[in-house]
């Protein structure tokens, strides 16, 4: 039996006014207890969904929609981390580490390269993204990056580390007489 039923029964027992076993009073108390337990469960769930640290369903989804799309394909801990990073962005978030955190809030795996003399930041996003996702991420990153910087976002291309690992030099590639298209599409 539920604790709500027992609490109500014990309270009414002290009054010595009601008989409980097999009576209408007992049945009504059970019905009330069932509804109260259900409401209590719903309130507990709503309370948990109000905070990022305890949200697991609609609380995460509602917050994610504010920033774009629901990320139900990711695990709960990654979704929470992304939301916390996203909500921590403020006007003083212009350090390199803060910009990296802000970009991480999109769930991207990326390499960020700075070009200070050109006032430019290049973000190489690793992964497969639809055109819609690419446009959204590009727009949102441009909102985060300080206005004096140009941002270049590259999706799905090789990272600088991957390119460096190939150890291709200009002279080596030039001697192969490739066209620009062939060079651009090299693996």
- Mean pLDDT in the chain? 81
φ and ψ at 21, to 5 degrees? -60, 115
What is the rounded distance in angstroms from the CA atom of residue 160 to the CA atom of residue 112? 9
Does residue 38 surpass a pLDDT of 90?
A: yes
Residue of higher predicted confidence among 173 and 126: 126
pLDDT tens string 66-107: 777 777 888 888 888 888 877 776 666 667 787 787 788 777
Angle at 116 between CA 172 and CA 86, to 5 degrees: 110
For residue 101, CA distances in Å to 12, 25, 62, 87 come to 57, 60, 21, 11
Residue 150: strand pairing partners: 120
Percent of the chain with pLDDT over 90: 5
pTM above threshold 0.75: no
DSSP per-residue codes, 7-45 = HHHHHHHHHT----TTSHHHHHHHHHHHHHHHHHHHHHH
Q: Looking at residue 91, what is its pLDDT?
A: 61
> Two tokens at 82?
């992304």
- pLDDT classification of 136: cutoffs 50, 70, 90: confident
Reduced to 3 states, what is the DSSP secondary structure of residue 153?
strand
Does residue 139 surpass a pLDDT of 80?
A: yes
Q: Which helix (H) or strand (E) holds 165?
A: helix 160-166
Q: Looking at residue 186, what is its pLDDT?
A: 67
Dihedral angle sign, alpha carbons of residues 166, 107, 113, 184: positive
């Amino acid at each position: 039996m539920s604790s709500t039923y027992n609490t109500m029964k014990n309270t009414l027992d002290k009054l010595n006014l009601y008989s409980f076993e097999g009576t209408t009073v007992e049945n009504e108390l059970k019905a009330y207890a069932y509804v109260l337990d259900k409401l209590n469960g719903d309130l507990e769930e709503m309370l948990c969904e109000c905070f990022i640290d305890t949200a697991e369903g609609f609380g995460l989804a509602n917050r994610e929609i504010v920033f774009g799309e629901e990320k139900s394909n990711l695990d709960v801990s990654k979704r929470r981390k992304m939301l916390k990073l996203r909500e921590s962005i403020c006007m003083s978030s212009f350090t390199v580490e803060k910009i990296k955190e802000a970009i991480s809030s999109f769930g991207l795996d990326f390499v960020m390269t700075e070009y200070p003399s050109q006032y430019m930041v290049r973000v190489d996003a690793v992964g497969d993204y639809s055109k819609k996702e690419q446009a959204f991420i590009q727009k949102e990153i441009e909102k985060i990056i300080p206005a004096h910087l140009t941002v270049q976002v590259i999706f799905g291309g090789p990272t600088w580390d991957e390119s460096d690992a190939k150890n291709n030099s200009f002279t080596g590639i030039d001697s192969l007489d490739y066209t620009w298209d062939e060079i651009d599409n090299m693996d």
